[in-house]
């Protein structure tokens, strides 16, 4: 009985070690890392434009370290202020373009200093893509 338990433990350990070393690109999208994923706003926008379903599986609900060129903050809207990141692509049919980030009003010292054209970096939770094709970032903070 002890030999069988040891053999099962050894086999499980070997499978875990050998599987971790060969994680494929597809596995990376299925099992995203727990630390913030660093990405440029333009890259995030393009990822959603090219493959929304795959982008959702990798970014939605996960921490993102987003950086890029900000547009003017908008709001407050409820308890949040919205900041759009500029992206270099053709505008969508609604005339709004960019990655949208919502920041709690409690970070007013951070967003009150942002002006259009500033380089901005923040940590957010991926919120997926809205019906207009714009990626959303939630609960952002400096």
Tell whether 21 and 36 lie within a shared domain.
no
The domain in which residue 10 lies consists of: 1-31
Beta-bridge partners for 60: 126
Tell whether 52 and 14 lie within a shared domain.
no
pLDDT the model gives residue 96: 57
Tell whether 84 and 102 lie within a shared domain.
yes
Beta-bridge partners for 83: 101
C-alpha–C-alpha distance, residues 73 and 91, integer Å: 19
The pTM of the full predicted model, rounded to 2 decimals, is 0.70
Tell whether 117 and 137 lie within a shared domain.
yes
Tell whether 68 and 8 lie within a shared domain.
no
pLDDT the model gives residue 140: 93
Tell whether 77 and 124 lie within a shared domain.
yes
Q: How many domains, in total, are found in the chain?
A: 2
Asked whether the CA dihedral 141, 137, 62, 44 is positive or negative, the reply is: negative
Tell whether 5 and 65 lie within a shared domain.
no
C-alpha–C-alpha distance, residues 40 and 7, integer Å: 47
Q: What is the pLDDT along the chain (142 residues), one digit of tens a residue?
A: 444 333 333 333 233 333 333 344 445 455 555 689 999 999 999 999 899 999 999 999 999 999 999 987 887 788 888 888 988 765 554 455 689 999 988 887 788 888 889 999 999 999 999 888 889 999 999 8
Q: Residues 98, 86: contact at Cβ < 8 Å? A: yes
Give the three-class secondary structure for 37: strand
């Amino acid at each position: 009985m002890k030999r069988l338990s040891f053999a099962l433990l050894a086999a499980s350990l070997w499978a875990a070690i050998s599987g971790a070393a060969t994680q494929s690109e597809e596995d990376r999208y299925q099992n995203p890392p727990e630390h913030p994923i660093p990405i440029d706003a333009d890259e995030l926008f393009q990822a959603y434009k090219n493959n929304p379903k795959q982008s959702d599986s990798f970014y939605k609900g996960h921490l993102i370290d987003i950086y890029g060129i900000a547009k003017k903050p908008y709001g407050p809207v409820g308890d949040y202020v919205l900041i759009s990141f500029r992206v270099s692509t053709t505008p969508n049919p609604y005339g709004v373009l960019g990655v949208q980030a919502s920041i709690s009003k409690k970070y007013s010292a951070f967003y009150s200093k942002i002006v259009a054209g500033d380089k901005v970096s923040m940590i957010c939770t991926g919120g997926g893509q809205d019906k207009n094709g714009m990626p959303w970032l939630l609960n952002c903070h400096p």
